[in-house]
Chain A
Amino acid sequence: MTNDNIQINSAAEKRKRISYGIALLLVGFVIYLLFGLNTQAGSLTTFGLNLTSSQAIKVPDLIVPALPAIYMMAAISVFAGAYQLARGVRSTGWLISILAFTFVVAFLMWAAQDKSFNLTGMLSSSLVRATPIALAALCGVISERSAVINIGIEGIMLMSAQAAVISATLTHNLYVGLIVAIIVGGLVAAFHAYLVIRFKVDQIVSGVAINIVGTGTTSFISSRFMQSAGDTLNNSGTFPIISIPILSKIPVLGPVFFENNLIVYLTIILIVVVHILLFYTPWGLRTRAVGEHPKAADTLGVNVYFMRYVNVILGGMIAGVGGAYFTIGSVGRFDEIMTAGKGFIGLAAMIFGKWNPIGAYTSSLIFGFADSLQVKLQILRVPIPSEFLLMAPYIVTMIILTGVVGRAIPPAADGQPYEK
């Protein structure tokens, strides 16, 4: 409708261009000062590409001279900054990518100099650590696409995690645990939906209440029953690793993508399925219409409330799978408040992924990477307190929410109750 052809070289745009350029230049210098000057000339960084437990064909390790690589990263960053200052690139996504890439690579070179660092191991654990975040994000996507904010994902995951481990331990069957987790997730989400749709409770307040009840209930059950009966209630074992034939033999990619447990595979399948459902089926069309303009959907005979119930409950079931990951998918045991904010990080991943399943998964991988990097660095004994490394995912979340890295527009009716 509007005519944007007239080019106004806006002050804001110019400022943005210059600030990105300066940021890239600064990163270049920081790489040089922090890592370049603190790296021994001639030291080598070894990147392991094999996992000992893996079936993949073994390949030689990647050995890189640390200092030249660091200088190269600094040079790339400075060059990109200079180019940006001089010409200006439209895609901020590219700029951020270069910024993050050069910094992370240089950081790794420095941190792992004269040591061996298992790259495949880290990528593999990134994928695993991204799983609960991705499931939380997918729960958010599916429910917010129908305009219901669910901030209670954290509480839902806690309750499902506990339900999963108890039922799996009692029945000695992990699949029963998974199904119970899905049912619990669906039920709690149904409660949320009932509150916000039937009683028009503020969606954030309802979500917070679910988090409080979730934390309270799980801690209550844990300290009342599980601590004294660890073996009979809280010891389920975990889903085994399933190697996909042939594919798992591929070096690097095999161990990362094709040697995982059921929940990790399930996550990838769910992401793809929900993506197709959302954008290529009547259900998805109706969901998106209800999230963007519920009244329009209503006047065409689409039942707004029904669609919202279905979506919120489906989302809750997906979050239930995410909950199951924490117990029967990774450690086989429930600990109080073990989700540690992953539900909220999932919401950030959803926003960064622009309310799109595949986008949400991609940003979950970034969080997973940050998380596993932090663990690896502790192993490498990097002279940074581990507590600070543990802050990384939370800080990344906050940066993403500023929208400096590409702003996303939520569904138009997101968070608003529908009044006929």
Chain B
Amino acid sequence: MTNVLELRGITKRFPGVLANDKIDITLREGKILALLGENGAGKSTLMNILYGLYKPDEGKIIVRGKEVEIQGPNDAIAQGIGMVHQHFMLVPVMTVTENVMLGIEPVKNGVILDKEKVAKRIREISDEYGLEVDPTAYIKDLPVGIQQRVEIIKVLYRQADILILDEPTAVLTPQEVEGLFKIIDTLIKAGKSIIFITHKLKEVLAVADDITVLRLGTVVGSIDPKEATSEILATMMVGRDVNLVVQKQPAKPGEPVLVVEDLFVRDERQHLTVQGVSFDVRKGEVLGVAGVQGNGQTELVYALTGLLPLEAGTIRLLGEPIHHTTPRNILERGVAHIPEDRQRHGLILSFPIHDNMMLCTYYKPPFARGISLQEKAIFSNAEALVKQYDVRTPSIYVNAGNLSGGNQQKVIVAREFSRPIELLIASQPTRGLDVGSIEYIHKQIIKKRDEGSGVLLVSSELDEILALSDRIAVMYKGQIMDIVDADKTSKEHLGLLMAGVHPSEASIKN
């Protein structure tokens, strides 16, 4: 058994951060190495170094026993290294063929692109590895699962035999994950070697031949999957015992806070992405909205908070219709919103913390008198919230952009929770955060529920949905497949619903 790839003593510094500190990893030929670590552990940095997107400050890369220098993606490709990125590197307005051929375009008549030749090769690869895809389809029309296949085809087209899969399951349904695992199996049988990057423990145990765990830029250790359990891996990954379950009392739901009926919403590109959604959220309960990303959850939340206009339907908050009102009005009626994209919607990164802490209430006393801003009140409000919500910052005058992701999210939570709220809408509230921050945010959400607010939790992490929700709605292609009680369902059942299987069938299959 030979090692096809070895990284020795890789170190990478970014201004103020040691992203990788003397990392050693080894990939055996024809095997799957799982690289496990939290967000920010340095996995992606390491892989970007391997793929030539970053230059390491120290260390060497050994491919098939020979030390190589990788200056850019072209060198990596030449060494037979291929990467499937977490965020797909596909041009949406181009066809599958065009995406695959980009960078090594065959031509006919000297200059004209030879698309037929590439399409033919794509069909061959499809047949060989069971990666069915239409070469003439446009990427923007393909579901995420198929887009991932295109990414894999891109790598195989370049004849890679070392494949890096960066968080490949993040955007897939449980069933699609099964499909991916089958593809990985075929690839291994064809002699490829794979580095599988993830932070999901169960997947690691399911597929890996070797496991290497990273934490804070260093290798914590390697372990044989036969000896590993979820608990051992979690402790290695986080550095302390992790409480994988959220402590909470059973919900005491009251009257409905939010009632949504027959909602239709168009997204910014005018696609009808929410198609006839109806549900309610009651006081003192968490309604989780599960679903693979891109099935209309984002637009649903935008419509509820007034960021997108409705096409049809009604939204009622405490009995009052709010579907034709402004975002300001919705805020004032007691809706708090933890937005999906915290840097886009939630914060003004170039503004100091104290301004971000009053972003939604700047026009009201005590922050304003008439049109005049009251700096004293603004500063003392920020000081108090920073203390109460444990935001780690040198001062309230620091720009929000200089905070870590977890602390940025705390600023948003602090601001949103600092005003009286009836309904909390939390969209992907823990995405990209470290375990400590995740636990903290989860506790805060449950606390709001126990104080009697209704909570609408949108997340593509099924574990998060299951841990926090009292009821779960599953969205697929803009519609709600079913709403189930959290304690009467299973991950598998939810997975089938997320894949668009009708509820009646989903129950039978289970």
11 other contacts beyond A282-B111, A292-B94, with CB at 8 A cut-off?
A3-B272, A3-B275, A281-B111, A285-B101, A293-B90, A293-B92, A296-B89, A300-B103, A301-B72, A301-B104, A302-B102
Q: Are B478 and A2 in contact (CB under 8 A)?
A: yes
Contacts of B297 in A (CB 8 A): none
Selected A-B contacts with CB under 8 Å, 7 pairs: A6-B264, A6-B272, A282-B111, A296-B91, A298-B73, A300-B73, A300-B89
Q: Interface centre among B102, B272, B478, by most A CB within 10 Å?
A: B102
B:128-145 near A, CB below 8 Å: 140-143
Among A280, A286, A302, point to the contact of B112 (Cβ < 8 A): A280
Q: Interface centre among A8, A285, A286, by most B CB within 10 Å?
A: A285
Interface string of B136-165 (1 = CB under 8 A from A): 000011110000000000100000000000
Contacts of B90 in A (CB 8 A): 293, 296
Q: Are B105 and A285 in contact (CB under 8 A)?
A: yes
**With A6-B275, A280-B113, A289-B91 as contacts: A297 and B103 at CB distance below 8 Å:** yes
Contacts of A289 in B (CB 8 A): 91, 94, 102
CB distance from A185 to the nearest CB of B (A): 24
A:259-309 near B, CB below 8 Å: 280-282, 285-286, 288-289, 292-293, 295-302
Contacts of A4 in B (CB 8 A): 271-272
Among A282, A292, A302, point to the contact of B113 (Cβ < 8 A): A282
Q: Are A8 and B294 in contact (CB under 8 A)?
A: no
**Complex: chain B residue closest to A407, CB-CB:** B270
**With A286-B102, A295-B89, A300-B89 as contacts: A2 and B272 at CB distance below 8 Å:** yes
**With A296-B90, A300-B89 as contacts: A2 and B111 at CB distance below 8 Å:** no
Check: B53 CB closer than 8 A to any chain A CB. Answer: yes
Which residues in B have some Cβ–Cβ distance to A below 8 Å? 51, 53, 72-74, 77, 83, 85, 89-94, 98-99, 101-105, 107, 111-113, 140-143, 154, 264, 266-267, 271-273, 275-276, 294, 311-312, 477-478
- Bound complex: CA A289 to CA B53 (Å): 18
Among B85, B105, B477, point to the contact of A3 (Cβ < 8 A): B477
Contacts of A297 in B (CB 8 A): 91, 102-103
Among A8, A280, A281, A292, point to the contact of B91 (Cβ < 8 A): A292
Q: Are A10 and B311 in contact (CB under 8 A)?
A: yes
- Bound complex: CA A282 to CA B113 (Å): 6
Q: Are B98 and A285 in contact (CB under 8 A)?
A: yes
**Complex: chain A residue closest to B140, CB-CB:** A1
Closest 7 A/B residue pairs (Cβ): A300-B103, A301-B74, A296-B89, A2-B271, A282-B105, A301-B73, A293-B91
Interface string of A1-25 (1 = CB under 8 A from B): 1111010101000000000000000
Contacts of B83 in A (CB 8 A): 299
Q: Are B73 and A299 in contact (CB under 8 A)?
A: yes
CB distance from B83 to the nearest CB of A (A): 7
CB distance from B365 to the nearest CB of A (A): 38
Q: Interface centre among A293, A297, A298, A302, by most B CB within 10 Å?
A: A293
CB distance from B308 to the nearest CB of A (A): 13
**Complex: chain A residue closest to B74, CB-CB:** A301
- Bound complex: CA A2 to CA B142 (Å): 10
Q: Are B311 and A8 in contact (CB under 8 A)?
A: yes
Contacts of A293 in B (CB 8 A): 89-92
Contacts of B141 in A (CB 8 A): 1
Q: Are B478 and A281 in contact (CB under 8 A)?
A: no
Contacts of B74 in A (CB 8 A): 301
Contacts of B91 in A (CB 8 A): 288-289, 292-293, 296-297
Check: A224 CB closer than 8 A to any chain B CB. Answer: no
Q: Are A302 and B103 in contact (CB under 8 A)?
A: yes
Check: A420 CB closer than 8 A to any chain B CB. Answer: yes
Q: Interface centre among A4, A289, A301, by most B CB within 10 Å?
A: A301
CB distance from B275 to the nearest CB of A (A): 6
**With A2-B478, A281-B111, A282-B107 as contacts: A299 and B53 at CB distance below 8 Å:** yes
CB distance from B349 to the nearest CB of A (A): 15
Contacts of A300 in B (CB 8 A): 73, 77, 89, 102-104, 154
Contacts of B311 in A (CB 8 A): 8, 10
**Complex: chain A residue closest to B312, CB-CB:** A8
**Complex: chain B residue closest to A3, CB-CB:** B477
CB distance from B153 to the nearest CB of A (A): 13
A:365-380 near B, CB below 8 Å: none
**With A8-B312, A292-B94 as contacts: A301 and B264 at CB distance below 8 Å:** no
Among B53, B105, B294, point to the contact of A1 (Cβ < 8 A): B294
**Complex: chain A residue closest to B275, CB-CB:** A6
Contacts of B275 in A (CB 8 A): 3, 6
Q: Are B272 and A8 in contact (CB under 8 A)?
A: yes
- Bound complex: CA A317 to CA B262 (Å): 56
Q: Interface centre among B51, B72, B140, B272, by most A CB within 10 Å?
A: B272
Q: Interface centre among A3, A296, A302, by most B CB within 10 Å?
A: A296
Contacts of B477 in A (CB 8 A): 2-3
Among B85, B93, B107, B142, point to the contact of A292 (Cβ < 8 A): B93
Contacts of B273 in A (CB 8 A): 2
Contacts of A3 in B (CB 8 A): 272, 275, 477-478
- Bound complex: CA A299 to CA B77 (Å): 10
CB distance from B220 to the nearest CB of A (A): 29
- Bound complex: CA A280 to CA B115 (Å): 10
**Complex: chain B residue closest to A284, CB-CB:** B113
**Complex: chain B residue closest to A2, CB-CB:** B271
- Bound complex: CA A285 to CA B107 (Å): 12
CB distance from B45 to the nearest CB of A (A): 13
Q: Are A288 and B103 in contact (CB under 8 A)?
A: no
- Bound complex: CA A298 to CA B72 (Å): 9
Contacts of B267 in A (CB 8 A): 2
CB distance from B118 to the nearest CB of A (A): 11
- Bound complex: CA A288 to CA B294 (Å): 25
CB distance from A13 to the nearest CB of B (A): 10
Contacts of A286 in B (CB 8 A): 102-103, 105
